[in-house]
Amino acid sequence: MSVRSELKSPGYEIFIGILSVISILNLVLALFITDQSLQTVLIVMNALFSAIFLGDFIFRLRTAPARGAYFFKHFGWADLLASLPFPQLKILRIFRLIRVFRLMRELGPRTIWRTLIRDRAGSALLVLLLMGILVLQFGSLLMLFIEQDAPGANITTASDALWYTMVTISTVGYGDQFPVTDAGRAWGSVIIIIGVGIFGTFTGYLANLFLAPRKGDRADAPEAPADQVKTSEPAETRPALEEGASLPGAAREDLRALLARSEANIADMRRLLA
């Protein structure tokens, strides 16, 4: 069964679907979290999700074979409204989950798994992006929850928590923000380990992307003409023979002996044929 044109690669659709689930989960978290600083972290993350979803809408609209069909028939209007920074419209992000379910129904889990394995580099990149977003949100929330009321704490605002998490994930480690409690240090260690894994894998991905030879390079290389590979003589000796350059004395005597034997063999063959 052919996949509808508005559907993208399985890895990309699953990535967008998971982000949609997280953004909807944030709406539920906002109902139970009363602390203003924690609310600010959710607001910042929802703004990030809105930017990602707006880029996703533009990407789908530009690549759709029939833009009108995508916008009106395949819930493009819901993608646009859900990407706007209005809490009342974020529930429309559930339509992105419908695409994931339809993709799994049309392709099947086994085909999707084989596709993800075949495109390991692209799948790894999407996993890295997803892990980075998850650590940025939940790492900041938990670190701020642990540290903000501790004596001598310097991670007391949403800005502090987000900055600390971003600096730690990137393995830069300025040291201007740091946890002071045992629980905060333990959670910070987890963020450090995850950050090293993310950037180590990302570095390997970039190295493979820019340094590995392309699959079609060897196949596309032009073959040498047949008249250039007729002899096994070294390249440096062929021009000298063709131009009639003089040979060393020993080589000249060997050629004369070979020529004499060849002439004798030809004379014997002529006598046999006479």
| Domain ranges for the chain | 1-118, 122-212
Quote the CA–CA distance of 81 and 77 in Å, as a whole number. Answer: 6
Nearest to 164 by CA among 183, 182, 142, 149: 142
Quote the CA–CA distance of 80 and 67 in Å, as a whole number. Answer: 13
| Contact predicate 23/49, CB 8 Å | yes
pTM of the model: 0.67
Could you give the 3-state DSSP secondary structure of residue 49? helix
pLDDT in tens, the chain (274 residues): 444 456 677 888 888 888 988 988 888 888 888 889 999 999 999 889 989 989 988 988 888 888 888 888 777 888 888 888 777 777 788 877 777 777 777 777 788 888 888 877 778 788 888 998 999 999 999 999 999 989 988 999 999 999 999 998 887 878 888 899 999 999 999 999 988 888 777 777 777 777 766 655 545 555 555 454 444 444 444 444 444 455 566 767 777 777 777 777 777 677 766 6
Q: Give the single-character DSSP code of 89.
A: G
Considering the domain 122-212, what is its CATH architecture?
Orthogonal Bundle (1.10)
